[in-house]
Amino acid sequence: MTQVAETTTAQQAAQQIEGFRSNVRKLRDEIARVIVGHEEIVEGVVIALLSGGHVLLEGVPGLGKTMMVKTLAEAIDLTFSRVQFTPDLMPADILGTNVLVEEESGRRHFEFQRGPIFAHIVLADEINRATPKTQSALLETMQEQTVTVSKTTYQLPQPFFVLATQNPLEMEGTYPLPEAQLDRFFFKLRVDFPSADALHTILDRTTSQQHIHAKKVLGGPELLELRSLVRQVPVARSVQDFAVRILVGTHPDADKAAKALGSKVEKADKNDLVRRFVRYGGSPRGAQALLLGAKVLALLDGRFAVSCADVAKVARPALRHRLILNFEGQAEGVSTDDIIGSILAKTPEALPGGARS
């Protein structure tokens, strides 16, 4: 009986994994009908969507960041709203505000007018063109998925997903995002300039009479089921230790960070680049992003178990925005991706002798 039950459970898991891969394949194929190239960016957005996190897309204007978000919204049967961030945008323009309403009887009362944040998929376009005060309006919504106005808390619709685009900080009229808000983004993805072949395809599509739009291929209840399956993927303690050691390695004072996390980091694991150029390392949210992103990769690969390679693959998008460089690092133009690469190179998948971190 036990062997039969195990066989049935294995078959059910295989069916769930195949259904997961089929749904994700349909979504990615539909996005690819509209968006040319950017396969890695699309994969990162889909991983974050399935993990229940938010995404920050960075790139110069004209690379298709906004079009990518709109295409994703078209492919999923959920409500969508777009907020164009400008220097004069106020928090109430995003969250909503109480307005005075007059009834037919002549009586007046305050009624909450919901802002554009009350949608399943929210595009925060050019988020770093608004002031830090307005940027911080998203802190509660991205973490607790609620909005509090005048001591009253309102629940946001589920699933809730924020996709923000930003221009490089070197561009005129931009404000850096607060560290607390950066930490609330699951992934930060860098959108690069397309290849020559991709440019030809883009020109063919955008300079002709043909207009391509994505079709609905996934619904809200289906998306919530996919997210639930991601949470069910088991993670071995050794793989979780690997993620913890990567996170600890991002801190210039690794011993102190390891002690706070109940971990051990040998002196040999300390990284000169981190100690020299990093002011603050990643928070525990970074480790959460590592494991959840790795779970999605495992399912997409047809596995119901996470490997260290899955964790390493999502390390850069999960941590690059969580490393705060010091003055020397900023002055020398050090890339956080290079620092993370150095951490990965110096972090073994297993500790000597099978010891736990």
Domains of the chain, first to last: 48-192 (3.40.50.300), 230-349 (1.10.8.80)
The letter for the amino acid at 173 is G
Angle value at C-alpha 198, between 47 and 80, nearest 5 degrees: 45
Predicted local confidence at residue 267, as pLDDT: 43
Helix (H, G, I), strand (E, B) or coil at 77: strand
Q: How far is CA 78 from CA 66, 73, 194, in A?
A: 17, 7, 29
Encode burial over 59-74: b for 16+ CB neighbours within 10 A, e otherwise. Answer: beeebbbbebbbbbbb
pLDDT tens digits for range 41-76: 889 999 999 999 999 998 877 777 788 888 888 888
Angle value at C-alpha 138, between 134 and 144, nearest 5 degrees: 155
For the chain, 357 residues long, the average pLDDT of each consecutive 10-residue run is 54 85 89 80 91 89 78 88 90 88 79 90 89 86 89 90 83 78 91 76 72 82 92 93 92 64 48 85 92 95 92 94 89 88 87 53
Predicted local confidence at residue 53, as pLDDT: 92
Q: Are 29 and 66 in contact (CB under 8 A)?
A: no
Phi-psi region of 36 (alpha: psi -120 to 50; beta: other; left: phi over 0): beta
pLDDT tens digits for range 122-135: 999 888 888 888 88
Encode burial over 331-355: b for 16+ CB neighbours within 10 A, e otherwise. Answer: eeebebeebbeebbebbeeebeeee
List the one residue out of 14, 51, 52, 24 whose CA is nearest residue 305: 14
The letter for the amino acid at 179 is E
Q: Are 311 and 298 in contact (CB under 8 A)?
A: no
Angle value at C-alpha 56, between 80 and 225, nearest 5 degrees: 55
H/E stretch holding 40 reads helix 39-51
Cα distance between residue 26 and residue 37, in whole Å: 17
Please give the DSSP secondary-structure letter assigned to residue 36: -
Helix (H, G, I), strand (E, B) or coil at 75: helix
Q: How far is CA 331 from CA 209, 215, 327, in A?
A: 48, 46, 6
